[in-house]
Copies of this chain bind each other. A is one copy, B any other.
Amino acid sequence: MKHLLSMEDLSTLEIEQLLDRAAYFKQGGKLEGDKKLYAVNMFFEPSTRTHHSFEMAEKKLGIETISFEPGESSVTKGETLYDTVLTMQALGVDIAVIRHKEEHYYEPLKALDIHVINGGDGCGQHPSQCLLDLFTIKEEFGTFSGKKVVICGDILHSRVANSNMQVLKRLGADIYFSGPREWFDASCAAYGTYLDIDQVVEVADVLMLLRVQHERHQADGAVFSKADYHAQYGLTIERAAKMKKDAIIMHPSPVNRDVEIAGCLVESEQSRIVAQMQNGVFMRMAILEAVLNEKEAEMRVCTL
């Protein structure tokens, strides 16, 4: 695994190995080797969790973090992403974690020697979020097989929904969708069935709520008032009361409180929203280790 760009690139075995290593780090495991390593976190779109979760994972692994602010870099003088990442490679940086608004921004970067980890590409993939979601589900149930997972909300524009529906089905879960019908795409029908929110709360083992991305919807006019969305499609207190007792609530955050979910449910007993953030650090440690192992493997080949 030289880069981590898309969930589609990962075999089921690789996913399972990542889940095992995240569990190892969560139990206090350490990275082997004492080579000094460098990572740069290049976030061209705002982020709190993904950015600082990777930073925390780097620090816990003893990897040095190089700072990078797009607005103070030569990107402002028109330097391309390729030339910027080439620069980081030339400076001796081992890993670039990148979030960029352009889908598939990483294609030209595959030619570089630096390891690229995709921290989100537009409406495309967000593999580290997907993997930490998998880790959180497996930690809860020990398996994916036969679990009823409902993805609810802005499926069309969601990096998370895209990655999750494909890989969860591959791992044996049963997928359902909910939320506004106009955000349910024919392409999703291959992965699961659309159900009304009042139906899904009774059947779901995992209720994955997605963020309503107000900032993306202002352009296309499909705007709900917050109260309307909550009443029609959100997890209200009343709906939450109908959930199975061992079912869990997930959300990639940031949460719009009282839109996708009633504010008081965010830190409730059935919610795993805080656990997802905690697990994100350990999964990202596993991802960083995995791309560095590839480096080690390359270096071993070179010295033969």
- Identify the A interface with B (CB < 8 A): 36, 38, 40, 43, 46-49, 51-53, 55-56, 59-60, 64-69, 71-80, 83-84, 86-88, 90-93, 214-215, 253-257, 266-267, 274, 277-278, 280-281
CB neighbours (8 Å) of A38 from chain B are: 56, 59
With both chains docked as a complex, state the minimum distance between the C-beta of A183 and any C-beta of chain B, in angstroms.
Answer: 18
Q: Which residues of B contact A257 (CB under 8 A)?
A: 80, 83
Known: A46-B74, A64-B59. A52 touches B90 (CB 8 A): no
Q: Given A56-B92, A91-B53, A254-B83, is A48 in contact with B73 using a C-beta cutoff of 8 Å?
A: yes
Give me 17 A-to-B residue pairs in the complex whose CB atoms sit less than 8 angstroms apart, sorted by A's number.
A46-B72, A46-B74, A47-B73, A48-B75, A48-B79, A49-B74, A51-B72, A52-B87, A60-B92, A77-B215, A80-B257, A87-B277, A90-B277, A90-B278, A91-B277, A91-B280, A91-B281
User: Once bound together, how far apart are the Cα atoms of A287 and B47, in whole Å?
Assistant: 29
How many copies altogether? 3
B67 touches A255 (CB 8 A): no
Q: How far is the CA of A86 from the CA of B49 in the complex (A)?
A: 10
A48 and B215 contact, CB distance less than 8 A: no
If A72-B69, A78-B256, A79-B254 touch, whether A48 touches B278 (CB-CB below 8 Å) is no
Q: Which residues of B contact A215 (CB under 8 A)?
A: 77
| A67 close to B55 (CB less than 8 A) | yes
What is the CB-to-nearest-CB distance from A103 to chain B, in angstroms, rounded to a whole number?
A: 19
Q: State how many angstroms separate the Cβ of A189 from the closest Cβ of chain B.
A: 30
* Identity of the chain B residue whose Cβ is nearest the Cβ of A75 in the assembled complex: B48
Is B73 within 8 A of A46, CB to CB? yes
B66 in contact with A67 (CB, 8 Å)? no
Contact of A92 among B76, B92, B281 (CB under 8 A): B281
The CA-CA distance from A93 to B55 in the complex, in Å, is 11
Q: A48-B74, A52-B67, A91-B280 are in contact. List 9 more A-B contacts (CB 8 A).
A: A38-B56, A46-B71, A48-B73, A49-B91, A56-B93, A74-B253, A77-B254, A83-B254, A90-B274
